[in-house]
A = this chain, B = another copy of it.
Amino acid sequence: MKKATLKTISDESGFSITTVSRALAGYADVNERTRQLIIDIADRLGYQPNLTARHLRSKHTNTLGMVIPLTAYYSDQFFMTLLSGVGQQAARFGYDLLLSAQMRGEEEISAYRRMVDGSRVDGMVLARVRQRDARLDYLKGSARPYVVFGHADEDDYPYIDVDGKTGIRQMVHHFAAYGHRRIALIAAPDDLAFAPLRLAGYWAALDDLGLPRDPRLVVTGDLSADSGAAAVTQLLGQPDPPTAILACNDQMALGAMAAITARGLRVGDDVAVAGFDDIPAAANASPPLTTIRQPIFEIGQSLAQTLIGLIRGEAVHDLHVLLDPELVIRASSGKPRAG
C-alpha cells in the first residue's frame, strides 16, 4: 500500500486536490458534507501530509535549530540541560528541534548554513556565544530570527544571560566574609564572551575589598574537569598559595576538588572551593559544591519562547534579559574562619 497523498484522496472522493486540501485545512468555502466525506477518507487511508512538501511551499517548518559542540562535550551537562529546556518549551508550542552536533570551526558554520540558508528551520538558538563570534555574524546577516544564551557587554541582539560579573563579585565577597584573603580564580578561555565579564567581576571584588591584584592567582582553564585539576596543581604549588579557589564553571570546580582531595587536603576546611552554573552534579558532589546558580533549564525554556515569539512576528518586549545571579552556599566553601 502506497502512502496516501492529496491526490489519492482526490481520486477516491471525486473532488479536486484543491478542495481536498482546503477541506482538511478547515477553510470555510467547502461544504460541510463534503468536508466530512473527505476527512473520513483521509482517516481511512491514514493520510499524513508530507511535511517536506508543505514546508517547501509554505516557507516555514515549525522547527528550531541548534548546533551543539562535539568536542569532548558529550559529558557536558550544561548543554544537555539547556537542550531539555528548549525542547520542552518548543514542544509546548508545536515546534520540533533540529540538532546538529559539530566540531568547532568550518564544519560548525556550514551546519548553520545548512539549517538557515537551507530553509530547514524557522529560527536558531545559539548557546555559549564567543567573542567576535562568526556564528553570530552569520546569523545577524541572515534574515532568520535567533536568540542567544550569553552576551558581551556592548552587544545588541536578543539574548538571555546571567549577570556573571556580579555573581563572581558576590562570591569573592562571600569568601572574604569567611576570612579568606588569598582568593584564586580559575578563569575561562578568553574567546568565550562571558570570560572577560567574569574576570572583571573578580577584579572589581578585589578592589572593593582592598585586596591586591595578584596575577599568579588567576589560571585559565578550558572548562573541563581536567583543566580544573591542573589549575589546582599550579595554584597550590606556588609559595603563599590561595586558601580559596573560585572556578568559572562547575565542571572545573569539581576537577579542582578532586585534585585537592588527591593532595591530601580537605575541601572546605583546608581550601574553599566554589563554581559557577549549579549543574545537577554540584549538589551531589562531596562535599556539595558552593556555586553561582544559572537556571539553565528555565533559560532554555525562555529562549525557546522568545524565539517562537520572534518567528511569529509578535511584539517581544524583553529582548535583553539579564538575570540576577543566585549564590548557592554549600559545604565546599567551608565555614567562617577565625583570624
Contacts and interface: CB of A to CB of B under 8 A. Distances in A.
A73 B77 contact: no
**Count of this chain's copies in the oligomeric assembly:** 2
A50 B119 contact: yes
Q: Chain A: interface residue count, which band?
A: 35 or more
A72 to B, nearest CB: 10
A49 interface: yes
Contacts of A73: 84, 87-88
Contacts of A48: 113-114, 117-118
A26 interface: no
Interface string A105-121: 00000010110011110
Interface of A: 3, 46, 48-53, 55-56, 61, 63, 68, 70, 73-75, 77, 80-81, 83-85, 87-88, 90-91, 96-102, 111, 113-114, 117-120, 254, 280-281, 284-287, 297
A339 B61 CA distance: 66
Nearest to A110: B48
Contact of A96 (B99, B119, B284, B297): B99
Contacts of A96: 98-100, 111, 114
A286 B100 CA distance: 35
Contacts of A98: 63, 96-99
Given A50-B118, A117-B48, A286-B284, A99 B101 contact: no
A70 B51 contact: no
A46 B110 CA distance: 12
Given A56-B56, A70-B88, A98-B96, A49 B80 contact: no
A190 to B, nearest CB: 26
Given A52-B119, A83-B80, A96-B99, A88 B74 contact: yes
Contacts of A91: 70, 100-102
A49 B68 CA distance: 22
A210 to B, nearest CB: 37
Contact of A74 (B75, B81, B118): B81
A53 B118 CA distance: 9
A90 B80 CA distance: 17
